[in-house]
Chains A and B, each alone.
Chain A
Amino acid sequence: MNMQTTIAGVTFKNPVMTASGTFGSGMEYSEFVDLNKLGAVVTKGVANVPWSGNPTPRVAEVYGGMLNAIGLQNPGIDVFLERDIPFLKQYDTKIIVNVCGKSVEDYVDVVERLGDEPAVAMLEINVSCPNVKEGAIAFGQKADALYNITSELKKHAKQPIIMKLSPNVTDITEMARAAEAAGADALSLINTITGMKIDINKRKFAIANKTGGMSGPAIKPIAIRMVYQTAQAVKLPIIGMGGIANAEDAIEFILAGASAVSIGAMNFVNPYTTEEVVKGIEDYMRRYHVENLSDLIGAVQE
C-alpha cells in the first residue's frame, strides 16, 4: 500500500499537511503529534519583516466553525530562518513555507531568501488572506493581478510555488486558470471565507477587525465544491483544505481532486487530528483495497 503523493515533482510520504496559520512552525503541536508522521508542515505565513497583526479580539466561535483575523502576525524571515527552519529540519517531513507580503517586492524578497534553503521543499504563496488591508488578498481576487504576481515570483523562486486561492471570488476556476497560465506549480484551496459576527449583548463586532476568515467543518461543502471545480478546470495538482476534521473528510477532498490535504482549524479542536487523519486514510485504503493513494485522486464518479 502506497500513501505517497507527488506534487510538482516533490514526493510526500502521505497526503496529510497542516494548513498555514493553524500550526505555527510545528513547535507547539510537536508536543501532541509526531511531525515525522506528516506529509508536510505548512508554516504560518512569513513576510520579509516582522508583522504585528491585528488588534484583539482576533478569534470568535461561530456555528460549526470559527472566525479569525490574526492579520498574519509573524516574526519576519530572519527569525524564521534562524529558528523555525532548524526546528523543522529535525523531522522527517517536508517543509512548505507560506509566504506573505504587502507588495510584489515583499514577496520576491522572501522567496529569494528561501531559495538558499534547500530544506524548504515548496513555497505556498498567500494571496488570499482576507484579514490584512494591504497586499495579500489584493493579489488574489483579480485574475490579472494573480497572473502578474505568479509570473513574477516564478522568475525568482528556486522551489516550486503553490498559489493559495481565495474562495472570496465569483469564479475560483478563473483564478486557478490565471495561476496556471502564469506558471504556478500547484494550487491550494480554500483559504478562509470572509465572515462577520456581532455580539448582541455588547452590540459590538466579535472581532476587532470587524470581518474575519471563517474556517471549520461548516465550510467544508464549499471547499469540496471548489476543489472539484478547480480540478476540472486546470491540470495543476491541488492541495485541498477547508474544515477537515477526520480521514473521511480528507478522502472526500482527495476524491474531489486534491492530491493532498491540509488540516486547519480542527487542530485547535483536537490537537491530534493530523496524525489521526494519516491513520484513518491508511485504514480506508486497506478496507477498500486501494493500492496507491493516487488511485483515489479525483476518483469521484457521477
Chain B
Amino acid sequence: MKQKQNAKVLSQREIAPLIYDMWIETDLAAQAKPGQFICIYTKDKSALLPRPISICEIREDKAALRIVYRVAGAGTAEFSGYQEGDSIAILGTLGNGFPLEKAEGKKVFLMGGGIGIPPMLQLAKEMQADKQIVVGYRDDKLFLSEDLEKYGKVYVACEDGSVGTKGNVMDAIAANGLEADMIFACGPMPMLRAIKKYAADHQIPAYISLEEHMACGVGACLGCVVKTKEVDHHSHVHNARICTDGPVFLAEEVEI
C-alpha cells in the first residue's frame, strides 16, 4: 500500500560529482520492487512537489532503501545535505517496477545511462538470468559499477572515452559484440529511443523505465503521461500515466 511517511536517513555520501548515495530506514522497503520509485518531499515549503527518485537497492532485511540521485536543482541539493539521523518525508512505493520474471533463463541486457543506472542494481540483484550489464557515463567518474559487478559482467561506455568503450551504451554493445534476448533499461531519452530501435530491429522485447515531470506520483493529476501505441485502458486515449501505469513500459508500446 502506498503511504507518505517520515523515514530516517542512515547514511549519505557523494559517490561521484553531484551524485549522492543515501540509505534510508523505512518499512516501505518491505514492499519495494526493482524499478519502483519513491517521491521525496523537501523541507523547504516553497518547493511543494515531491521529487520522484528510483529505488537503487533494497536492504536484505527489507527495512531500508538505497537511493542514488543527481543534484539537479534546489530540491535535490537540499536532500544532499541530509545526514545520518535526519528525518526525510517520502511517499512510496510507487510504480510497477520491472517484470523481472520475464527474464528467467534468458540472456539479457541491463542497460543504464547516467542517473538511469541506479535502478539497475536491485534489478541485477534479483534477476535470474544471464546478465550483461551495460552502463554509460559522461566521463571517468564512474558510480555503482563495482556494485553491479557482483551480479553480472559489466561493460562500461564513456562519452569522453576515458574508461571502457568511447561513446554510449549502444556503442559498448557493438564494440563487445554482445547479443541478448531481452533488454531492461533506464536512462536519458536519446538512449531509450536508440534501445527501442535496436529492440525492434532485433525483434526482442525491451522494458524501458521512463521519467517525466510529476505532481502527484499516484495517478491522479495526469501530469506525467506518455503517448501509447494503443488506447490506454485507464485514459481511453493514447496516454498512459508514467507514475502508475509505468514507469516501466514495453518499448514498442510507447511513442518516445
Give residues in A with beta carbon < 8 Å to B. 21-24, 28-29, 31-32, 44, 50-53, 56-61, 63-66, 68, 70, 73, 75-76, 79, 216-217, 265-272
- Which of chain A's residues have a CB closer than 8 A to the CB of B226? 56
Flag if A76 contacts B236 (CB, 8 Å).
yes
Contact of A75 among B45, B91, B236 (CB under 8 A): B236
Q: A28-B216, A272-B4 are in contact. Are A52 and B49 (CB under 8 A)?
A: no
Against A, the Cβ 8 Å flags (1 = close, 0 = not) of B37-54 are 000010001111110000
Within 8 A of A (CB), among B199-247: 212-226, 234-239, 244
Flag if B223 contacts A59 (CB, 8 Å).
yes
Complex Cα distance, B49 from A65, in Å, reads 8
Flag if A270 contacts B4 (CB, 8 Å).
yes
Within 8 A of A (CB), among B2-57: 2-4, 41, 45-50
CB distance from B78 to the nearest CB of A (A): 13
Give residues in B with beta carbon < 8 Å to A. 1-4, 41, 45-50, 91, 212-226, 234-239, 244
Flag if A267 contacts B216 (CB, 8 Å).
yes
Complex Cα distance, B45 from A266, in Å, reads 11
Contact of A268 among B45, B215, B239, B244 (CB under 8 A): B215
Q: A22-B221, A32-B4, A68-B215 are in contact. Are A75 and B48 (CB under 8 A)?
A: no
Flag if B213 contacts A268 (CB, 8 Å).
no
Contact of A59 among B47, B213, B236, B238 (CB under 8 A): B213
CB distance from A231 to the nearest CB of B (A): 28
Flag if A271 contacts B91 (CB, 8 Å).
yes
- Which of chain B's residues have a CB closer than 8 A to the CB of A65? 48
Q: A28-B220, A70-B222, A73-B222 are in contact. Are A50 and B235 (CB under 8 A)?
A: yes
- Which of chain B's residues have a CB closer than 8 A to the CB of A270? 4
Q: A59-B214, A271-B91 are in contact. Are A70 and B221 (CB under 8 A)?
A: yes
CB distance from A52 to the nearest CB of B (A): 4
A selection of 14 A-B contacts at a CB cut-off of 8 Å is: A23-B220, A31-B2, A32-B4, A53-B239, A58-B213, A58-B224, A58-B225, A60-B213, A75-B237, A76-B236, A265-B48, A267-B216, A269-B49, A269-B50
- Which of chain A's residues have a CB closer than 8 A to the CB of B236? 50, 75-76, 79
Contact of A73 among B41, B212, B225, B244 (CB under 8 A): B225
Number of A-B contacts (CB under 8 A): 109
In the complex, which residue of chain A has the Cβ closest to the Cβ of B242? A56
- Which of chain A's residues have a CB closer than 8 A to the CB of B219? 24, 28
Flag if B4 contacts A271 (CB, 8 Å).
yes
Complex Cα distance, B117 from A44, in Å, reads 36
Complex Cα distance, B94 from A166, in Å, reads 34
For A23, A64, A271, the residue with the greatest tally of chain B CB atoms inside 10 Å of its CB is A271
Of all A-B residue pairs in the complex, the 10 with the closest CB atoms, nearest first, are: A75-B236, A59-B223, A28-B220, A24-B220, A52-B237, A268-B216, A57-B213, A28-B219, A268-B215, A59-B215
Complex Cα distance, B214 from A59, in Å, reads 7
Flag if A52 contacts B221 (CB, 8 Å).
no
Q: A50-B237, A271-B91 are in contact. Are A61 and B47 (CB under 8 A)?
A: yes
- Which of chain B's residues have a CB closer than 8 A to the CB of A21? 221
Complex Cα distance, B50 from A100, in Å, reads 29
CB distance from A208 to the nearest CB of B (A): 10
CB distance from A170 to the nearest CB of B (A): 29
CB distance from B2 to the nearest CB of A (A): 5
- Which of chain B's residues have a CB closer than 8 A to the CB of A70? 221-223
Q: A32-B2, A50-B237, A59-B214 are in contact. Are A267 and B224 (CB under 8 A)?
A: no
- Which of chain A's residues have a CB closer than 8 A to the CB of B91? 271
- Which of chain A's residues have a CB closer than 8 A to the CB of B234? 75
Complex Cα distance, B3 from A31, in Å, reads 8
- Which of chain B's residues have a CB closer than 8 A to the CB of A79? 236
Flag if A56 contacts B225 (CB, 8 Å).
yes
CB distance from A73 to the nearest CB of B (A): 5
New A-B pairs, 8, CB < 8 Å, besides A59-B213, A269-B50, A271-B91: A28-B219, A65-B48, A66-B49, A68-B215, A75-B234, A268-B221, A271-B218, A272-B4
Complex Cα distance, B223 from A237, in Å, reads 31
Flag if B4 contacts A66 (CB, 8 Å).
no
Complex Cα distance, B49 from A267, in Å, reads 10
CB distance from B231 to the nearest CB of A (A): 8
- Which of chain B's residues have a CB closer than 8 A to the CB of A58? 213, 222-225
- Which of chain A's residues have a CB closer than 8 A to the CB of B4? 32, 270-272
- Which of chain A's residues have a CB closer than 8 A to the CB of B223? 56-59, 68, 70
